[in-house]
């Protein structure tokens, strides 16, 4: 069979698996999609592996990778997220103002088929905590679905670019913005809001995919009725009782308790469970919200049809350190002590890698993957961290020094890991920052930040500020690492060619031997990389790799001297990143690499 025939066959398989609304995906759908040479959803598959079965680019030939195409999005700002490639078309969502581009990959120079320009309020810029990022779109049933910063979810016809529906789901005046990528399961479009720094009442919503109407709203914190908890269905493995999401917050502080949803969602079709992480509780001063603050900084498992909560596990009870758990929940079959486990693997901002039984939420192991000192360990019987008393924060604690990791996280949830089932290895960016933490009392004022802490970062030990690591979750050990002079803030792509791809904050895009960590190729892409590489098979049958360049996200705030676009905003560099503006400035570029 020629490659065209193979591609046609895969396309049919792919259309069969996602093209019929309302029919659950077969269990093998994820495998089919991995091989199909497309990239139709943010994390590649429902298991959030960011693994492609394409293998034309391999450990031997990757040194010959070079850029074949680039395009300026016309937008400066943190280009998080990733393109989609479906039916020989590449779709790119920009940061605010959230332009959607559709590139025709069958024509020389990849000209646009169309470009969609939504009406999106500039007011959202000031309510977004950490730059105007967007983490990407989802392709389903001939439509592109994504979120606008000002709290709208839109569906756009993938062929024509015509807007099919546009629903306001978040309230900017209450501090809610939208930066996450939707997950589409059956006929539900599932979305959440950012705003952990604005005291929102965090939620997840399920929209009807054909009309855009909100079918259910599930709060992440608060009373059972708001959280869509039914006593007969909800079985958290380490907690019991009614209204846990309200009773674990003194003085009803859940009402402004944050717990946003700004990361990645995954889905297990056999269990019919959607998994997602919640962000930090608000405010940062923990003494204004005494209690465990369930279910902030947690993973929740819900039914996509009606949003019913099935189980939840809290990674960081009474989060003192802004340890959002919005990072990817990766579904994989992992051998632990020789026994295969249907696992959910999560690399948390708090520095521990967790491996849970994804049917029940029960903890199987938890191991630090960077230097951690806020907790000594995670107790596997109770599921709770064994805390380090000297690293607890609050107004009464004064200025607490040297907490590791920092609120940038051991890894940012914005930088999703990849998992190669072929090698049984995870690959993730990491940051090497610690922090001091001086909490202050914060007053809630709707539509303004609700924070209450001064948090100056310090460099972690070792003389580097970030790293890409390969990690064996079954054995809970690091396999290799590449240290970086700056925090590592890109997502990772893994392929069956045993090549992994990532980008650096100072603007290098690298391919790496997945088995050894040896860098195979690198290219300077014009701006720091905070996006996530993808791979696809082009109309010519060749494998390509695409990635955004455009420093931003938290680095919009932290390295202000990479701003060059506003003469009325001139900032001194962050002490520990004095050199980065030598290497990068803000940008907005899409790159495609090939052999």
Partner 1 sequence: MDIWPVTSAMKANRTTIVSVSVRVAGVVCYAAIASCARHEPAAPAAAGAGPPAIPYEAHISAGGRTPAGGEFNNPFRNDPVAAENGEALFSAMNCDGCHGGGASGWVGPSLADGRWRYGGADGEIFSSIYFGRPKGMPAFGGAISATAIWNLVTYLQSLKPPAEVPTEYWEE
Which among 258, 332, 331 is positioned nearest to 295, based on CA atoms? 258
Nearer to partner 1 by C-beta: 128 or 227? Answer: 128
Binding to partner 1 by residue 257, rule CB under 8 A? no
- 569 counts as binding partner 1 under rule CB under 8 A: yes
Min dist. Cβ of residue 552 to partner 1 (A): 11
- Report how far apart the first and last C-alpha atoms of the chain are (Å, whole number): 23
Q: How far is the CB of 303 from partner 1 (least distance, A)?
A: 36
CA distance 434 to 32: 42
Using CB under 8 A, which of the segments 99-107, 494-502, 522-530, 574-582 binds partner 1?
A: 574-582
Contact 193, 200 (CB under 8 A): yes
Please give the residues from 342 up to 381 whose contact with partner 1 meets the rule CB under 8 A: none
Q: Is 322 a catalytic residue?
A: yes
In the complex, what is the shortest distance from the CB of residue 180 to partner 1, in angstroms, rounded to a whole number?
Answer: 18
What is the side-by-side order of every strand in the sheet holding 330-336?
330-336, 339-347, 352-357, 363-368
CB of 322 to partner 1, least distance (A): 13
Whether residue 412 contacts residue 429, with contact meaning beta carbons closer than 8 Å, is answered with yes
Question: How many Cβ atoms from other residues are within 10 Å of residue 406's Cβ?
Answer: 24
Nearer to partner 1, 276 or 457 (CB): 457
* Interaction between residue 556 and partner 1 (CB under 8 A): yes
**Beta strands at 363-368 and 543-549: parallel, antiparallel or unpaired:** unpaired
Interface with partner 1 (CB under 8 A), residue from 22, 339, 381, 568: 568
Binding test (CB under 8 A) with partner 1, winner from 251, 524, 571, 575 = 571
The candidate with the shortest Cα–Cα distance to 244, out of 157, 180, 313, is: 313
| Farthest-apart Cα atoms in the chain, separation | 71
Site for partner 1 in 425-454 (CB under 8 A): 440, 442-445, 447-451, 454
Active-site choice (36, 322, 324, 556): 322
* 562 burial level (CB within 10 Å; 0-12, 13-18, 19+): buried
CA–CA gap between residue 281 and residue 256 (Å, rounded):
9
Q: Site map for partner 1, 453-492, x if CB under 8 A?
A: -x--------------------------------------
Q: Is 197 a catalytic residue?
A: yes
Q: Contacts with partner 1 in 160-219 (CB under 8 A)?
A: 197
Within residues 21-80, the interface with partner 1 by CB under 8 A covers: none
Active site residue 399: no
> What are the residue ranges of helices labelled H in 143-240?
224-227
Active-site choice (36, 197, 268, 556): 197
State the number of binding residues for partner 1 (CB under 8 A): 37
**Binding track, positions 95-134, relative to partner 1; x by CB under 8 A:** ---------------------------xxxxxxxxxx---
Between vectors from CA 189 to CA 184 and to CA 191, what angle results, nearest 5°?
A: 105
Give the β-pairing of 339-347 and 352-357: antiparallel
Residue of 40, 384, 413 whose CA lies nearest to 192: 413
Stretch of 67-75, 157-165, 523-531, 566-574 contacting partner 1, by CB under 8 A: 566-574
* Min CB(172)–partner 1 separation in Å: 8
Residues 268-327 that bind partner 1 (CB under 8 A): none
Q: How far apart are CA 142 and CA 76, in angstroms?
A: 29
Helices (H), 402-488: none
Using CA atoms, how far apart are residues 418 and 48, in angstroms rounded to an integer? 8
Annotated catalytic residue, options 98, 220, 280, 532: 280
Asked if 433 and 487 count as a contact pair (C-beta separation under 8 A), the reply is yes
Binding site for partner 1 (CB under 8 A): 122-131, 197, 440, 442-445, 447-451, 454, 556-557, 560-561, 566-573, 579, 581-582
Catalytic residues: 197, 280, 322
């Amino acid at each position: 069979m020629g490659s065209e025939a193979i591609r046609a066959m895969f396309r049919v398989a792919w259309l069969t698996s996602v093209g019929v609304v309302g029919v659950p995906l077969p269990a093998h759908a994820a495998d089919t999609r991995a091989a199909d040479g497309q990239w139709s959803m943010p994390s590649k598959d429902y298991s959030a592996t960011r693994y492609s079965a394409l293998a034309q680019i391999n450990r031997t030939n990757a040194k010959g990778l070079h850029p074949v195409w680039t395009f300026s999005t016309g937008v400066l700002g943190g280009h998080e997220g990733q393109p989609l490639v479906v039916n020989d078309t590449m779709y790119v969502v920009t940061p605010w103002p959230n332009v959607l581009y559709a590139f025709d990959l069958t024509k020389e120079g990849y000209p646009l088929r169309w470009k969609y320009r939504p009406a999106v309020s500039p007011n959202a810029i000031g309510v977004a905590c950490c730059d105007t990022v967007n983490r990407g779109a989802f392709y389903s049933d001939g439509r592109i679905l994504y979120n606008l910063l000002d709290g709208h979810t839109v569906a756009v016809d993938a062929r024509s670019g015509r807007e099919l529906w546009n629903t306001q789901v978040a309230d900017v005046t209450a501090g809610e913005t939208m930066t996450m990528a939707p997950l589409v399961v059956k006929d539900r479009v599932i979305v959440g809001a950012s705003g952990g720094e604005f005291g929102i009442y965090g939620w997840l919503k399920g929209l009807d995919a054909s009309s855009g109407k909100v079918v259910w709203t599930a709060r992440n914190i608060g009373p059972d009725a708001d959280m869509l908890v039914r006593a007969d269905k909800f079985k958290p493995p380490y907690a019991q009782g009614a209204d846990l999401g309200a009773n674990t917050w003194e003085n009803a502080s859940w009402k402004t308790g944050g717990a946003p949803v700004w990361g990645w969602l995954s889905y297990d079709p056999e269990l019919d469970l959607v998994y997602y992480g919640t962000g930090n509780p608000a405010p940062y001063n923990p003494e204004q919200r005494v209690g465990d603050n369930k279910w902030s900084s947690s993973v929740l498992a819900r039914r996509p049809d009606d949003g019913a909560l099935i189980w939840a596990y809290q990674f960081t009870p009474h989060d003192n350190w802004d340890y959002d758990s919005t990072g990817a929940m990766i579904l994989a079959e992992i051998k632990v002590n020789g026994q295969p486990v249907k696992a959910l693997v999560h690399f948390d901002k708090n520095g521990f890698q967790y491996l849970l039984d994804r049917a029940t939420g029960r903890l199987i192991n938890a191991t630090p993957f960077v230097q951690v000192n806020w907790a000594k360990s995670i107790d596997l019987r109770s599921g709770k961290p064994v805390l380090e008393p000297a690293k607890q924060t609050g107004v009464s604690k004064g200025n607490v020094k040297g907490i590791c990791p920092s609120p940038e996280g051991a890894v940012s949830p914005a930088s999703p890991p990849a998992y190669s089932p072929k090698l049984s290895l995870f690959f993730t960016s990491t940051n090497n920052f610690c922090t001091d933490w001086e909490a202050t009392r914060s007053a809630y004022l709707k539509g303004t930040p609700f924070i209450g802490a001064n948090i100056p970062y310090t460099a972690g030990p070792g003389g580097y500020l970030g790293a890409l690591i390969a990690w064996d979750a079954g054995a809970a050990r690091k396999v290799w690492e590449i240290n970086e002079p700056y925090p590592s803030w890109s997502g990772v792509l893994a392929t069956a060619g045993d090549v992994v791809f990532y980008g650096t904050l100072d603007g290098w895009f690298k391919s790496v031997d997945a088995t050894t960590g040896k860098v195979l190729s690198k290219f300077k892409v014009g701006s720091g990389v905070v996006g996530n590489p993808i791979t696809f098979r082009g109309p010519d049958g060749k494998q390509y790799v695409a990635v955004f360049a455009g420093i931003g996200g938290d680095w919009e705030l932290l390295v202000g001297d990479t701003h060059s676009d506003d003469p009325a905003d001139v900032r001194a560099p962050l002490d520990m990143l004095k050199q980065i503006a030598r290497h990068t400035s803000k940008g907005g570029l899409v790159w495609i690499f090939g052999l």
